[in-house]
Amino acid sequence: MHLNKIKLTKDASDRLKQLKARTGLTPNILSRIGFCMSLSDPAIPDPGEYPEEDREFNRYTLLGEWDALYVAMLRQRMLNDELPDDAVEVDYFRAHLNRGVIALSRQVKSIADLASLAIT
């Protein structure tokens, strides 16, 4: 996947700030969680809905030591979704990330809320 830097929408960036205040977690960690949350949502996101606007991450900060697993998960999801061959991975990566962050901010009020998402 060709990804060095990624930019979020303004909405997602704002929500990350709120989430940080509620959970005490840094935006990159919150983004990882949001990303995986979106992967578990069966609806296919539309990359067109998430323009590049505000906060920017570089790849290493964002994905950390499990980079390869995140990429593999995205590919698996795209395979499951039977997307056409010309679907661009980076676009779907960004779509899941934005969508996940927004969903996360709707559900999570505290670190305990967040952790309980991992149990079910």
Partner 1 sequence: MRIHTLRLNNFGLFRGVTEFDLLPKVKYNKERPVILVGGKNGAGKTTILEAVRLCLYGPLLLGSRVSAREYEEYLRSRVHRNDDALVMNTTASVALEFEHSELGKSHRYTVERSWDIGTKKIKTHLLVQRDGDPIDDLDHAHADDFLRDLIPPGVSQLYFFDGEKIQELAESDDDDAALSDAIRSLLGLDLVERLSGDLQIYANRLQKLDNIDTLQKELDNVEKEIQDKQDRHLKSRIALDEAQSRVDDIAKQIAATEARIAKEGGAFADVRGKLESDRKRLRTAIEDAENQLRQLAEGLLPFSLAKSLCRDLTNQLKNEDRVQGWRSHRTLLQERIERLHIATRKELAGIDGLTDETRGVLADRITQMVGKLGEPPEGLPDVKLVHRLSSDLKESLFEGIRGATEYVPDRAKKVIGQLETDTRDLQKTEAALKKAPKEDQLRPLVERVNDLNREIGGADADLKRALAEYSSAEFSLKEERSRKAKLTDKKSEAEKQGEREQMVESVNAALEEYVRELTADKSRELAQCVRRRFQQLWRKGDIVRRIEIDPISFIVKLYDRHDRVVPKTQLSAGEKQMYAISMLWGLAEVSRRPLPMVIDTPLGRLDGEHRSHLVEHYFPEASHQVIILSTDTEIDETYFNDLKPHLSHVYHLSYEQSQGRTVVSEGYFWNHRNQELTNAS
The residues binding partner 1 (CB under 8 A) are 23-25, 29, 32-33, 35-37, 39-40, 66, 68-69, 72-73, 75-80, 111-112, 114-119
- Quick one: which H or E segment has residue 74? helix 67-80
Torsion, CA 43, CA 35, CA 107, CA 102, rounded to 10: -80
Q: For residue 93, give the nearest of 17, 27, 7 by alpha carbon.
A: 7
Question: Looking at beta carbons only, is 51 or 72 nearer to partner 1?
Answer: 72
Question: Looking at beta carbons only, is 10 or 40 nearer to partner 1?
Answer: 40
Q: How far is CA 10 from CA 24, 54, 57, in A?
A: 21, 5, 13
Rounded to the nearest whole angstrom, what is the least distance from the CB of residue 56 to partner 1 in the complex? 20
Residues in the chain: 120
Rounded to the nearest whole angstrom, what is the least distance from the CB of residue 75 to partner 1 in the complex? 5
Question: Looking at beta carbons only, is 55 or 96 nearer to partner 1?
Answer: 96
Rounded to the nearest whole angstrom, what is the least distance from the CB of residue 34 to partner 1 in the complex? 8
Question: Looking at beta carbons only, is 60 or 66 nearer to partner 1?
Answer: 66
Question: Can you count the helices (H) and strands (E) in the chain?
Answer: 6, 2
